């Protein structure tokens, strides 16, 4: 991790529980819920339906910009398996899986869409996805120039007409469980009323739009399920974050919420740092703002806003305050420097060093 990259983003402070409202899914807008649970990804596709048994769904997209998740593309109609969503997946069940999955490789027998930043592979007559539960190749993409019928009992040709454009949904991987379902893709539909065998399908134009929008570096994920279940899937997310030490005036700090690294930025508790620096901190739950005051300098930040105020003057933040484990997090470099502290990154100790005279 480069020193300059870390310093540019040494960021975010977690407020203690008295400053934070619980992020319950039932009363938390979806963008805020996503922002409080997804830290290492920057793109998300949500496919939801009005119930378990319908083949009709809608697809929405979200993208993280400066630490804040926002809606991206317009909503798209989508098709599911002919048995809707499955509570328990099985091979050949005709239903689509539910849950949260990483998006895999883009593919198609057509050339990669222009301006697409997504990893993409052009398929051939020798590309197969194996759904033979007796084969060690089950739920794998295999390139094979021989006779597929002599090797597998069942398979899908990756140059299928509906696979002109598509992307792998990384379902039933690590480990692969025989019979739990295979070959789950996001691909072109046959028509706006034609169900799939378990994949998610959209129009050709929308599939090209998605492949152009998705960026491999942004680690897109897909969330699938009935609308009544989506928020519970999001809320249950518990990403493992890398811990970072915080040292203030030579003293190692111990917080109830350990400091962590997110997107090259360091997140650490605000109350501990603020009180160590001598600042008075106030949280306004009505407006979602935090105000810190020290030696005549007043800093105000608002939850999910990239605009802060220093003595009433607007300042643009590289990362907006978000929530982690029901704690509001705000940029520590911005706060510390606003109060005259010096902030450095010590790569050898994997620590943020804050010094205030």
Cα separation, 160 vs 112, in Å, equals: 16
Average pLDDT, the chain: 87
> 273: which 2 tokens?
């740092």
Q: What is the pLDDT of residues 271-286, one digit of tens each?
A: 777 778 889 988 888 8
pLDDT band, residue 9 (cuts 50/70/90): very low
> Which of the two residues, 203 and 349, has the higher pLDDT score?
203
294-300: average pLDDT: 92
pLDDT band at 27 (very low <50, low <70, confident <90, very high): very low
Query: Tokens 């949280």 appear where?
Result: 283
Residue 75 pLDDT greater than 80, yes or no = yes
Q: Does pLDDT of 342 surpass 80?
A: yes
Q: Which fold has domain 3-20+240-355?
A: Copper Amine Oxidase; Chain A, domain 1 (3.30.457)
What are the tens digits of pLDDT across the range 134-178? Answer: 999 999 999 999 999 999 999 999 999 999 999 999 999 999 999
Q: Is the pLDDT of residue 5 over 70?
A: no
Partnered with residue 355 across adjacent β-strands are 342
The answer, yes or no, to whether residue 21 has pLDDT greater than 60, is: no
The domain spans of the chain are 3-20+240-355, 41-235
Structure confidence at residue 43 (pLDDT): 96
**The predicted structure's pLDDT at residue 221:** 97
Using an 8 Å Cβ cutoff, are 332 and 319 in contact? no
Secondary structure class of 49 (helix, strand, coil): strand
For a pLDDT cut of 70, what percent of the chain falls above it? Answer: 92
Token pair 């239903």 is found at 95
Say what the pLDDT of residue 36 is.
82
Residue 326 confidence class, pLDDT cut points 50, 70, 90: confident
* Three-state SS annotation for 53-84: CCCEEEEEEEEEECCEEEECCCCEEEECECCC
pLDDT at 31: 85
Q: Cβ(288)–Cβ(33) under 8 Å? A: no
pTM: 0.83
Provide the token pair at 241: 């974050």
Residue 336 has pLDDT above 50, yes or no: yes
Q: Rounded to 5 degrees, what angle do the CA atoms 162, 182, 222 make?
A: 75
């Amino acid at each position: 991790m480069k020193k300059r990259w870390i310093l540019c983003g040494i960021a975010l402070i977690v407020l203690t529980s008295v400053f934070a409202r619980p992020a319950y899914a039932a009363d938390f807008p979806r963008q805020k819920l996503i922002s409080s649970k997804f830290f290492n990804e920057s793109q998300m596709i949500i496919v939801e339906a009005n119930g378990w048994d319908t083949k009709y769904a809608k697809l929405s997209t979200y993208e993280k910009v400066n630490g804040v998740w926002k809606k991206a593309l317009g909503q798209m109609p989508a098709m599911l398996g002919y048995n809707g969503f499955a509570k328990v997946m099985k091979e050949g069940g005709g239903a689509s899986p539910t849950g949260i999955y990483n998006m895999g490789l883009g593919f198609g027998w057509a050339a990669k869409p222009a301006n697409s930043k997504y990893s993409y592979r052009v398929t051939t007559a020798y590309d197969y996805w194996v759904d033979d539960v007796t084969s060690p190749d089950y739920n794998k993409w295999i390139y094979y120039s021989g006779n597929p019928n002599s090797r597998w009992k069942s398979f899908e040709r990756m140059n299928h007409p509906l696979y002109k454009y598509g992307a792998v949904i990384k379902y039933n991987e690590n480990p692969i469980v025989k019979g739990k379902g295979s070959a789950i893709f996001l691909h072109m539909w046959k028509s706006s009323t034609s169900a799939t065998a378990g994949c998610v399908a959209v129009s050709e134009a929308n599939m090209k739009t998605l492949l152009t929008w998705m960026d491999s570096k942004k680690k897109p994920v897909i969330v699938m399920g009935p609308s009544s279940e989506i928020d519970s899937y999001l809320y249950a997310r518990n990403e493992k974050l890398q811990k970072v030490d915080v040292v203030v005036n030579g003293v190692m700090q111990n917080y109830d919420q350990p400091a962590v690294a997110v997107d090259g930025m360091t997140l650490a508790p605000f109350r501990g740092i603020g009180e160590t620096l001598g600042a008075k901190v106030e949280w306004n739950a009505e407006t979602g703002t935090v105000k810190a005051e020290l030696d005549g300098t007043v800093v105000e930040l608002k939850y999910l806003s990239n605009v802060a105020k220093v003595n009433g003057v607007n300042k643009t933040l590289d990362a907006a305050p978000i929530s982690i484990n029901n704690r509001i997090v705000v940029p520590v470099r911005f706060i510390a420097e606003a109060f005259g502290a010096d902030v450095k990154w010590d790569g050898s100790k994997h620590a943020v060093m804050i010094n205030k005279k």
